[in-house]
Amino acid sequence: MPATTFERALSRSASAGQLSNASSLDWYRTNIVRVRTTPQQIIKENRDNMTTQPLNGKMYLFEYEPKGKKTLKYYDTFPLIFKIKRIQEGFLGMNFHYLNYKQRAQLMNALYSLASDKEINEETKLLMTYKLLQNSTKFRWFKPTLKKYSISNVRSRFLEIMPEQWNAAIMLPIAKFKKAKNSKVWRDSENAI
């Protein structure tokens, strides 16, 4: 059986955990970008990890069509999120696609301090709250990633990204923005900090 996108990405990467410095980030991004894929392909390859009920502190990829999309400046149709909390009619999530690759790594490195386990394993989740993220400068990149998602606008089941795959997932070039290019979204996010 051919390797899945995550298996190919992981074979090119270091182990789970922090992306320690600029050179490792550059190496990581360069090698992960060589893994050609789409969000649809990733979802299709990983059907065993699909769920209808996302859990707080876990990472997910899913298809989404936002309410009021005509009035939005832009939006991501395949968010890659950490679910923060449940809200009326949906949930709050941190969508990594709103950040450039360096900022994604910086935010992910900060988030590892909230991991439920010292050693990253399949049970690991992030023990975070909105208030904690909002009140700490080390999580400053979280602000432009915070989005509300309505369950009625989710167009697929949720693919749970295993903790060992978090670094690979945030570096995959799979953002699918409508009405703007990635560079415009990333520039707006940087300006929002």
Q: What Cα–Cα distance (Å) separates residue 193 from each residue in 38, 98, 155, 186?
A: 29, 12, 30, 11
Structural domain including 40 reads 5-192
Calculate the average pLDDT of the chain: 88
Q: Is 6's pLDDT higher than 80?
A: no
Q: What is the pTM of this model?
A: 0.86
pLDDT at 88 (0 to 100): 94
Reported as a single tens digit per residue, the pLDDT across 76-88 is: 999 999 999 999 9
Q: Is 143:110 a contact under the CB 8 Å cutoff?
A: no
Mean pLDDT of 44-70: 95
Using 50, 70 and 90 to split pLDDT, how confident is the model at 1?
Answer: very low
Q: How many helices (H) and strands (E) does the chain have?
A: 7, 8
102-113 per-position pLDDT tens digit: 999 999 999 999
**Number of structural domains the chain divides into:** 1
Model confidence pLDDT, tens digit, residues 147-177: 999 999 999 999 999 999 999 899 899 999 9
Both tokens of 113, joined, read 């301090």
The band of 37, judged by pLDDT with boundaries at 50, 70 and 90, is confident
